């Protein structure tokens, strides 16, 4: 496995359908007139607000973070129908949107995963009927007329992707969604989906300690002009600071994550120490350096999540400039073959993009 896809060649990615550029430009406005879309300055991942990695925030506290984010130039909010109990995250965002100018905010949501028993069992569904049911429910919870970017959260390997995409295409035509995305999709699924309707973005786990997609997904997305949205860009909080490395937050689902338990956790602490020393060298914090490593072009957008305004401000304030040599040095500090544990929770492993091919449509 290569240590890193060339960050210095990002601008060579073509945009065959224009969708990624359209969506990027739609959220590129700020008070200063400077482009704010292409990077972590303007995207925020909101699943943590409803208590995934921590205790859930009240709607009031969650809305305060969203309003602060908007005031700082962050205009793209990422959620999903499974974030929080009974779609609580979407409801929270919907309330916050009432206090923000809707035309200046881009909302991404997702469908396709349902977990009736919490983290004990995962189900994935991508039938046209289910797509229709989910969009109506999300629009109601968000209390909006349309969703800017709508992802298939995980691929239903029992349904030809053409059938799922056919329904999503109808939703675009009906004005219920503006752009279509996929998450944890295989290269075959991405190509077939893109043939039905242009895919705007593919959301994948991508960080210093999860770099598998550099081999296949990133090159394909660049060939097709599809944006790459990197979830868990801080390694599920691992690169967020020494506190997370030393002790997990209370009520955190990370207690179930392979990289945060037992010997794997101890092994990964060594890598964190190496990385923290590099951050000091660049006069920044570990999370700022981890985000800067990802954010070196206009087709990869990391979406860090936070539950604290101070962390939000720290992420926004990161403007670390890295040379090609810096990028290599940082990548070498976290060798993929030395990371302890699988990147996914056990219950999600079978839904990895590696296994996300679908049957051919008859």
Number of structural domains in the chain: 1
Q: Is 2 a member of any domain?
A: no
Distances (CA, A) of 88 to 2, 152, 308: 40, 19, 18
Query: Can you say whether residue 283 is alpha, beta or left, with left for phi > 0 and alpha for psi between -120 and 50 degrees?
Result: left
- Per-position b or e across 17-36, b if 16+ CB within 10 A of its CB: bebbbebbebbbbbeeeebb
Number of C-beta neighbours around residue 227 at 10 A: 27
Q: Is 325 a member of any domain?
A: yes
How far is it, in rounded angstroms, from Cα 360 to Cα 64?
A: 46
Q: Identify whether the C-beta of residue 233 lies closer than 8 Å to the C-beta of residue 290.
A: yes
- 83 has catalytic annotation: yes
Q: Is 360 a member of any domain?
A: no
Q: Is 362 a member of any domain?
A: no
114: domain CATH number is 3.20.20.100
How far is it, in rounded angstroms, from Cα 230 to Cα 177?
A: 21
How far is it, in rounded angstroms, from Cα 3 to Cα 131?
A: 38
The enclosing H or E element of 279 equals helix 262-281
Q: Report the pLDDT value the prediction gives residue 355, as an integer from 0 to 100.
A: 95
* Tens-digit pLDDT string for the chain (362 aa): 332 333 323 333 444 455 766 666 655 443 333 223 333 335 454 544 444 555 667 888 888 888 888 888 888 889 999 888 888 889 999 999 999 999 999 999 999 999 877 667 889 999 999 999 999 999 999 999 999 999 999 999 999 999 999 999 999 999 999 999 999 999 999 999 999 999 999 999 999 999 999 999 999 999 999 999 999 999 988 888 776 777 776 667 788 899 998 899 999 999 999 999 999 999 998 988 998 898 877 788 888 866 666 666 666 655 688 999 999 999 999 999 999 999 988 888 899 999 999 999 98
Q: Is 103 a member of any domain?
A: yes
Backbone angles phi, psi at 67, to 5 degrees: -65, -40
Where helices occur in 212-261 by DSSP H, the ranges are 217-224, 242-246
User: Can you give the residue range of the structural domain that contains 55?
Assistant: 7-355
Catalytic residue, from 83, 206, 231, 353: name it. Answer: 83
Q: Is 223 a member of any domain?
A: yes
The token pair at 87 is 């779609």
Among 289, 302, 298, 300, residue whose Cα is nearest residue 331: 289
Q: Is 213 a member of any domain?
A: yes
The token pair at 193 is 């989906």
Distance of CA 143 to the CA centre of its chain: 23
Q: Identify whether the C-beta of residue 77 lies closer than 8 Å to the C-beta of residue 42.
A: no
Q: Is 46 a member of any domain?
A: yes
Q: Report the pLDDT value the prediction gives residue 20, as an integer from 0 to 100.
A: 64
The token pair at 358 is 């679908």
The token pair at 75 is 């205009």
Question: Furthest-apart CA pair in the chain: how many Å?
Answer: 57
The token pair at 66 is 């969203």
């Amino acid at each position: 496995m290569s240590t890193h896809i060339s960050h210095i060649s990002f601008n060579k990615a073509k945009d065959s359908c224009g969708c990624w550029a359209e969506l990027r430009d739609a959220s590129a406005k700020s008070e200063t007139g400077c482009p704010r879309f292409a990077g972590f300055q303007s995207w925020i991942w909101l699943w943590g607000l409803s208590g995934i990695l921590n205790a859930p925030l009240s709607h009031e506290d969650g809305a305060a973070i969203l309003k602060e984010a908007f005031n700082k130039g962050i205009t793209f909010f990422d959620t999903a129908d499974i974030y929080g109990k009974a779609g609580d995250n979407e409801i929270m965002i919907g309330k916050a949107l009432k206090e923000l100018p809707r035309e200046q905010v881009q909302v991404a949501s997702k469908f396709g995963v349902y977990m009736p028993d919490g983290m004990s069992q995962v189900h994935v569904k991508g039938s046209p009927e289910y797509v229709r049911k989910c969009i109506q429910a999300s629009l109601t919870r968000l209390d909006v007329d349309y969703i800017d970017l709508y992802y298939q959260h995980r691929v239903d390997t029992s349904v030809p992707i053409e059938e799922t995409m056919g329904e999503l295409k109808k939703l675009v035509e009906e004005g219920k969604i503006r752009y279509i995305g996929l998450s944890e999709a295989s290269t075959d699924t991405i190509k077939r989906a893109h043939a039905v309707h242009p895919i705007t973005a593919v959301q994948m786990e991508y960080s210093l300690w999860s770099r598998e997609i550099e081999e296949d997904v990133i090159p394909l997305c660049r060939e097709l002009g599809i944006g790459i949205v990197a979830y868990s860009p801080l390694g599920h909080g691992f690169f967020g600071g020494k506190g997370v490395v030393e002790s997990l937050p209370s009520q955190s689902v990370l207690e179930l994550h392979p990289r945060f338990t037992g010997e794997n956790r101890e092994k990964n602490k060594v890598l964190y120490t190496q990385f923290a020393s590099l951050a000091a060298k660049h006069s920044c914090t570990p999370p700022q350096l981890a985000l800067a490593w990802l954010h070196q072009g206009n087709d990869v957008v990391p979406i860090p999540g936070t539950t604290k305004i101070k962390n939000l401000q720290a992420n926004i304030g990161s403007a670390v400039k890295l040379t090609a040599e810096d990028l290599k040095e940082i990548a070498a500090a976290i060798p993929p073959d030395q990371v302890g544990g699988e990147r996914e929770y056990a219950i999600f492993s079978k839904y990895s993009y590696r296994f996300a091919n679908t049957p051919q449509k008859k």
